[in-house]
Amino acid sequence: MLSTPRLITRCKNVDTSILTIIRTKRTKANKNSTGVSPQMQRVVTQLSVMSARKKQPKMLKLSNEDLIKHQTIETAWKIYQDKLQGQRTLRLKKQYFAVKEAMDTLKEVSPALFYEANVDESGKTFPMELRVPTDAPPREIWHYDYTLKTTET
């Protein structure tokens, strides 16, 4: 990765006073209307990318008492979030083992139903025959030329 001064010195005919002027927010309107050569625009883009990586949030300037309060609150929040995550994980484990037990029972009781319950349904679409109840009547009351699709076995 090149540092900023080396990057500018490698590009010929780069005026550094222009670099601060042309750094604008990019929008669709002014993306290509900067009036700067593509080489100059590449330099500006590379410089803005490098400076964006180094940006860090400002450190809070707190007294020792406020810093202790802040750390205590952050620690309590992390403990609370860990507790919630543990509860979610436990609930999901219980659900998983309940479903696993039900599927094992179904396999013992009726292997045919177990097989039907585990058929891959990827690519299956919602059937046209099934109508969803609504409050308003449909735009087309009756499909006069509707024919039922028959499956050949």
CA-to-CA distance for 19 and 38, rounded, in angstroms? 13
Q: What is the pLDDT of residues 1-54, one digit of tens each?
A: 444 444 444 555 555 554 444 555 555 555 555 577 888 888 888 777 766 666
pLDDT at 27: 58
* Cα dihedral sign, 29-41-17-46: positive
12, 48 Cβ separation under 8 angstroms: no
Q: What is the pLDDT of residues 77-105, one digit of tens each?
A: 999 999 999 999 999 999 999 999 999 99
Q: Say which DSSP state 141 is in.
A: -
CA-to-CA distance for 22 and 16, rounded, in angstroms? 11
Q: What is the pTM of this model?
A: 0.41
